Structure formats: C-alpha cells, structure tokens
Amino acid sequence: MNIDNVYIALLHHPVYNKRGDIVTTAVTNMDIHDISRAARSYGVKCFYIVTPIEKQHQFVKRIIRHWQKGYGVAYNPSRKKAFDIVDIKSSLEDVVEDISGKSGRSVHLVTTSATSRGCLTTYEDLKKVIMEDRENYLLVFGTGWGIAEEVIKGADFLLEPIRGSTDYNHLSVRSAVSISLDRLFGRR
C-alpha cells in the first residue's frame, strides 16, 4: 500500500530555540537518513527538508547525490530507495506549491507538537480522514524546540503529542516521525 496523498516536511525555519526565539536550525545528516528510511517504509510520497539557507540546500543535495549516484549506490542500494523520495525546499509555502502543482489537489497542513493544548486531532481521527479523503496531507515536524506558533495557527490540524508511559516527553524528531508514521500507517 502506498499512501500517495501523504507527505512529510521537516521544518528548520521558523522554529524555536530553547529560549523561545524564532531561529533557523541546521540540517543534520542523521535526520535525512532516518526520516527518509521511515518515510519510505510507511509509503510516504515525499519527504521535504525545509530551510531557507542556500548553503544547506547544497549540503543536502550533496548527500542525496552520494547515495543516489555516488559510491553509496553500490554500498547500500536500499538507501538509494529511501533518498529517492527526499527533496529540499526554502519554505513551507514552496512545499505546498510543489505538492499541489504536481498532484493538482489541495494540501492540508498537519502540524505536530510535544506539548498539549486545545483543539488537538487524535492519530485515530487523522488516520480516518486521510484514508477517506483523496486530497493531500502534509505532516509537519519541527526541529530545535518546536514549530513556531504562527505555523501551527495557520494549519488545518494540530496532532496530539506522542505520550509514552511517563511524563518525560523529549523524543528526538527522528523518533517522533517514526512513531507517528507507525501509529497512522503501521500494519499490526
């Protein structure tokens, strides 16, 4: 099964730093690897890395090239398949435009947060909506200390936080993406 109406964006701007300032975080190599592998496993159509910094675009494209065309293809062909669905854009607006342009269908923004607040959508409800609807759903995950409020306010959905079995909730974004995809699309 391919969930060809589901996309992921990993947001590096606008996000918070630990003091609550809006910043641009650096793209990390491990995020690209882990999230592309999870996205590919769960049938996500495309995984967008979002940063306005041009130098970071070059960095990401170099990594993608290594695993798609360079030494990486022979060393680990399965990594190529994961990197096939990775793209990089300067803003969330550019991502939405790319998706709607290619698919001809509108895009619903689904934001995520580690902290609880009003009007949350449960995983169960989002799953139903995605399965029944042929429009596009873009799951947005934040880096740093989380997605800026302006993005969350402008989104169609805010997904409930992932709760483990304790009050400690400091999962890495790599773990959060993996768990979210499994809750939505995992086969049990």
Q: Pick between residue 53 and residue 114 the one whose CB is nearest to a second copy.
A: 114
> ∠162-152-51 over CA atoms, to 5°?
95
In the complex, minimum distance from the CB of residue 165 to a second copy, in angstroms, rounded to a whole number: 4
51 binding a second copy? (CB under 8 A): no
In the complex, minimum distance from the CB of residue 91 to a second copy, in angstroms, rounded to a whole number: 27
Among 23, 24, 33, 149, binds a second copy (CB under 8 A): 33
Among 12, 25, 34, 141, binds a second copy (CB under 8 A): 34
In the complex, minimum distance from the CB of residue 12 to a second copy, in angstroms, rounded to a whole number: 18
The amino acid sitting at 118 is G
Q: CB of 10 within 8 A of CB of 48? A: yes
183 binding a second copy? (CB under 8 A): yes
175 binding a second copy? (CB under 8 A): yes
The pair of three-digit structure tokens given for residue 144, joined into one six-digit string = 């740093």
Q: How many CB atoms lie within 10 A of CB 84?
A: 14
- Please classify residue 166 by burial: count the beta carbons closer than 10 Å to its beta carbon, then call 0-12 exposed, 13-18 middle and 19+ buried: exposed
Q: Pick between residue 64 and residue 92 the one whose CB is nearest to a second copy.
A: 64
For tokens 């768990």, name the residue: 179
Q: CB of 108 within 8 A of CB of 135? A: yes
Q: Which of residues 89-148 bind a second copy (CB under 8 A)?
A: 122-124
Among 12, 79, 89, 108, binds a second copy (CB under 8 A): 79
How many binding residues for a second copy (CB under 8 A)?
42
Q: Pick between residue 53 and residue 162 the one whose CB is nearest to a second copy.
A: 162
16: left (phi over 0), alpha (psi -120 to 50) or beta: beta
